[in-house]
């Protein structure tokens, strides 16, 4: 049976937008200052770290997201922007090519959406 493979590559601004939206939906508290940088790692426990500029205290703050949270944020980002996301596809998230990649693997001919 043929297999469909899709590779979606998300840039740092797209990842940031997805994670901020995800945080608002999941009631994850974010600093009120601007994002000063984004760090993408191979570590599944801290796959993406958003670094925020120092606020009133002057110290830099950061918010860390696990691989599962990044995956959920990117899947929701795709839905919000009408990017087709088959429910029955195997989804794998990894850091790649200066961003984050969402790989979709789906056996063709299976039923489902």
pLDDT tens digits, residue range 46-75?
A: 999 999 987 666 667 899 999 999 999 999
Q: Shortest CA distance to 90 belongs to which of 18, 6, 9, 19? A: 6
Task: Report the C-alpha dihedral over residues 44, 48, 71, 98, rounded to 10 degrees.
Answer: -100
pTM, two decimal places: 0.86
Could you give phi then psi for residue 67, rounded to 5 degrees?
-55, -45
What pLDDT is recorded for position 8? 95
CA 13 to chain centre: 11
Residues 17-51: tens digit of each pLDDT: 999 999 999 999 999 888 999 999 999 999 999 99
The domain locations on the chain are 10-85
> Could you give the 3-state DSSP secondary structure of residue 24?
helix
Give dist(CA 41, CA 10) in Å, integer: 14
pLDDT surpasses 70 at 7: yes
């Amino acid at each position: 049976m043929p297999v469909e493979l899709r590779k979606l590559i998300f840039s740092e601004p797209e990842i940031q937008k997805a994670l901020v939206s995800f945080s608002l939906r999941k009631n994850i508290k974010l600093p009120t200052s601007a994002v000063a940088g984004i760090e993408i790692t191979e570590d599944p426990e801290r796959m993406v770290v958003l670094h925020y500029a120092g606020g009133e205290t002057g110290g830099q703050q950061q918010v860390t997201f696990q691989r599962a949270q990044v995956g959920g944020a990117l899947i929701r980002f795709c839905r919000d922007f009408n990017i087709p996301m088959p429910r029955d596809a195997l989804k794998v998230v990894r850091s790649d090519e200066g961003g984050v990649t969402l790989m979709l693997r789906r056996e063709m001919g299976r039923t489902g959406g």
